[in-house]
């Protein structure tokens, strides 16, 4: 329809959390998408194309599994630190600032009939919606993060 906030939990990246000592700018130190996750990301992109869902912009967490999900699904995206994981230390300390930044961004965002796509993590989606997304799940909300529907993509 447009004018929706579309939160997407990154596609399948086996494991949980991040390896100790991981570096945000070094994908070799992180959990990454496996073949199934890459295919799941492409499936997400095809779903948007097939349904002619109008996209204003695609924003992604700086974690490689999110950036890869955005890249394989949509091609173009921009990094947005407010979408970074807050699941484990030391990143959990950033949650209040990140959520404030996210709410402020969405409040000012004008869709003009298009959708805002946010590729992020379980920790961010549950914090703003109370929805509990599975890997690659799409959570569709209004600008107040009221959940309007979800789409599984496994």
Residues in the chain: 154
**Which residues does the chain have with pLDDT short of 70?**
none
Please compute Rg for the chain using Cα positions: 14
pLDDT at 141: 98
Distance CA(56)–CA(115), nearest Å, equals: 5
pLDDT at 18: 86
Contact assessment for residue 151 and residue 40, using Cβ atoms and an 8 Å cutoff: no
- Name the β-bridge partners of 26: 23
pLDDT at 88: 85
> Which segments of the chain are extended strands (E)?
5-9, 55-60, 78-79, 115-120, 138-141, 147-151
- Residue 121: φ, ψ to 5°: -115, 160
pLDDT at 89: 82
Closest CA to 153 of 26, 32, 9: 9
Q: Which two tokens stand for residue 104?
A: 């402020």
């Amino acid at each position: 329809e447009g004018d929706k906030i579309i939160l997407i939990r990154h596609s399948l990246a086996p494991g949980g959390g991040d390896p100790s000592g991981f570096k945000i700018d070094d994908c070799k130190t992180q959990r990454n998408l496996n073949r199934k996750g890459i295919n799941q990301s492409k499936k997400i992109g095809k779903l948007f194309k097939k349904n002619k869902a109008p996209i204003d912009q695609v924003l992604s967490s700086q974690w490689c599994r999110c950036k890869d999900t955005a890249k394989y699904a949509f091609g173009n995206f921009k990094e947005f630190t407010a979408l970074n994981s807050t699941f484990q230390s030391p990143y959990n300390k950033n949650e209040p600032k990140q959520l404030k930044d996210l709410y402020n961004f969405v409040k000012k965002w004008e869709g003009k009939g298009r959708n805002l796509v946010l590729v992020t993590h379980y920790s961010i989606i549950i914090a703003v919606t109370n929805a509990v997304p599975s890997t690659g799940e799409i959570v569709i909300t209004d600008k107040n993060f009221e959940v309007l529907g979800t789409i599984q993509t496994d």
